Amino acid sequence: MVAIHGLAIRLNASNNINGINGDPSGNDNGEEIHSLVVPAITSLQEAYVRKVVDTLNDLDKVIFSDIDPKLLASSTSYSMVWKSLMRGFNPIYLESDLANLTAAETVRNSMGYALKYSHLVDLSSMSPSSEVCSSGYCLINPGREYLVYLPAGGTVRVDLSAASGSFIAS
């Protein structure tokens, strides 16, 4: 049995296609797979990381921002999704408290809204800027697109001097 973020999962040894014993202590917890005590597992993990780095090395480096309501106040953790996105990070969220699903509902909703907005803009052409907008949280493609987050609501000043034409605010 392996506990992953509060979930208990019973592993079947006959499904182990790698032939690596992930529970050498035999205590049915399998915590060894999350440590460096099984060299064969560590070797596979290192090979995976090398493959990711080799594959993505010529691209801009991707940075993930893990949104964990347990580490943040539940009333502010949803804003970390937006702050992360507006700073150019890739917010991710792993359900950590499946017994209390409503505690993280705002985080899940924010992840969904962030995904929708990321499909509405040319995200690959945008970069974070803390100078262009007074909130300090924006992604910009100068003169073309501006995605701005206001953590406290209210009004914002956006420098559109690089732009010409009309914009739609929503």
Give pLDDT, residue 5: 47
Structural element, H or E, at residue 148 = strand 145-148
3-state DSSP assignment of residue 46: helix
The pLDDT score that the predictor gives to residue 13 is 66
Over the stretch 13-55, which tens digit does the pLDDT of each residue have? 677 777 888 888 888 777 787 788 889 888 888 888 888 788 8
Mean pLDDT to the nearest integer, 111-133: 90
Residues 58-117: pLDDT tens digits? Answer: 877 777 777 665 655 555 667 888 898 889 888 877 665 555 566 577 778 888 898 898
Check: pTM over 0.75? Answer yes or no. no
CA–CA distance, 147 with 86 (Å, rounded to integer): 8
Number of helices (H), then strands (E), in the chain: 3, 7
Q: Is the Cα dihedral 130, 123, 125, 94 positive or negative?
A: positive
In this structure, the number of other CB atoms found within 10 A of the CB of residue 154 comes to 8
What's the pLDDT score for residue 4? 47
- In sequence order, the 6+-apart residues with CB closer than 8 A to the CB of 58 are none
To the nearest 10°, the Cα dihedral for 153, 155, 161, 163?
Answer: 60
